[in-house]
């Protein structure tokens, strides 16, 4: 089993409840496979794929709001930040 496959298995086990995340990671790592396989020991030694598949931080917060019937609703909001190596984090908030 190659390094890419090992990381895909790790992510699938670790984030089994996140099928969209697993799909995105699978697509990205499979597209990187030719590059990683040329320098597999370097990528493995520095845990590059593990580092790019694990967020730097996850922020969860509550969002109270009033619906059309005047009832207060509470939802969760999320912000997941993966890598700030090339500058400030980008992206928005996700509500579930």
Question: In terms of domains, do 4 and 33 share one?
Answer: yes
What domain range is 36 assigned to? 1-54
CB distance 65 to 35 below 8 Å: no
**Which residues touch 28 (CB under 8 Å, ≥6 apart)?**
none
- For the chain, the C-alpha Rg in angstroms (whole number) is 18
Task: Collapse the DSSP code of 72 into the 3-class scheme (helix H, G, I; strand E, B; otherwise coil) and give the result.
Answer: strand
| Count of domains observed in the chain | 2
First and final C-alpha spacing in the chain: 36
| CA neighbor of 80 nearest in space, from 15, 27, 29, 26 | 15
Give the pLDDT mean for 87-95: 69
DSSP state letters, 52-64: HHS-SEEEEEEEE
Q: Which residue has the higher pLDDT, 84 or 5?
A: 5
- Same domain, yes or no: 2 and 43: yes
pLDDT surpasses 90 at 79: no
Average pLDDT over residues 22-38: 96
Q: In this structure, are 48 and 28 located in the same domain? A: yes
If asked whether residues 1 and 37 sit together in one domain, one would say yes
Query: Is residue 9's pLDDT more than 90?
Result: yes
9 and 48 assigned to the same domain: yes
Task: Provide the whole-model pTM.
Answer: 0.72
Q: What is the pLDDT of residues 35-47, one digit of tens each?
A: 999 999 999 999 9
Report pLDDT for 3: 96
- Identify whether residues 2 and 44 lie together within a single domain: yes
């Amino acid at each position: 089993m190659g390094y890419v496959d090992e990381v895909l298995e790790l992510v699938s086990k670790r984030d089994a409840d996140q099928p969209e995340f697993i799909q995105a990671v699978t697509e990205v790592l499979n597209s990187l496979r030719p590059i990683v396989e040329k320098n597999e020991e370097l990528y493995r030694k520095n845990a590059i794929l593990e580092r790019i598949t694990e967020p730097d931080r996850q922020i969860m917060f509550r969002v109270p709001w009033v619906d059309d019937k005047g009832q207060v609703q509470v939802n969760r909001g999320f912000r997941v930040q993966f890598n700030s190596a090339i500058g400030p984090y980008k992206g928005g908030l996700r509500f579930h």
